[in-house]
Amino acid sequence: MSYQRTITLNDNIQIPWVGFGTGTALYGRNAKDSIVTAIRAGVRHLDGAQTYGNEDSLGEGIREAGVPRSELFVTTKLLESIDFEKETPKTKLLDSLKKLGLEYVDLYLIHSPHAARQKGKLQEWWKNMEEIKKEGLAKSIGVSNFGVDDLKEVLEVATIVPSVNQVEFHPYVWTKVKSIYDLTKEKGIVIESYGGLVPVTKAAGGPVDPVLEKIAERLSKEAGKTVTPGHVLTKWQIQKGVIVVTTSSKESRIKETLDIPTLPDLTSDEITQIEQEGSKLHKRIYMKHAFKDE
């Protein structure tokens, strides 16, 4: 099935190419029913975070869905700003594991470098993350919303290279994210995206629209089924080697997403067109404070 498609991380852990996110629409809300729907639709990668305020209901959804833990890939993320005198990435993860009802997570991310950067704690945080992996509390460790300078600072002291960097990733941030993308490629770090559908959900009418519509029309004819501009955006991310985190409340849309890898590939010219048109508009929606380009 489509959910079994995986990407191999630099520590040889297999991560499903699509993750179901519990932020944005589910932020601060009970996620149990949504998680059950997603898992029963075929999703096996669940993306949570301490700041989303719903780890307990994420755990409830996992238990209710009835799929063996070994078949699931569960992510959570370290709160951006913690009590730097009393808390560490490890103590915060132990809290998360209690809420989730799990013995370990498959991936633990530093959600943002911003507060730790201000406190001069980024390298200290990363060394603590390495201990977490060594102790088996997280199978893989990585970062989120890290720019080039943040990544380089961590890599200066890293004996374990981050496995992923989760960032907002779509054509309207491509110009700014390309340097991050290039560095992660060089270092064997996989990009994980969120907000991938921004051009159609929050920035409709932009320069990339005609390109997406034209590609969607071609793919619809070739695939013999309706392909939307949103599907094209996800296909673009897949062909960039990116892990996609997305959310939907509808089982039918989740299944459509899981089938996107089976669509015909975008041509190199189409990929170039998407990126060229995307470069005409800069539109970052999330975590603006973590980046220096705003």
**Catalytic residue positions, numbered:** 52, 111
SS3 for 283? coil
Helix (H, G, I), strand (E, B) or coil at 86: coil
- CA trace torsion 59, 34, 244, 274 (10° rounding): -160
- Name the nearest CA neighbour of 116 among 140, 145, 139, 82: 82
Backbone angles phi and psi of 150, in degrees to 5: -65, -45
- Between CA 207 and CA 230 the distance in angstroms is 15
* 169: amino acid identity, one letter: F
- Measured between its terminal Cα atoms, the distance across the chain in Å is 41
Amino acid at 81: S
At 186, phi and psi to the nearest 5? -65, -35
DSSP assignment of 141-156: EEEES--HHHHHHHHH
In sequence order, what are the beta bridge partners of 245?
A: 19
Six-digit token string for 254: 């989740």
Q: Which two tokens stand for residue 125?
A: 């945080």
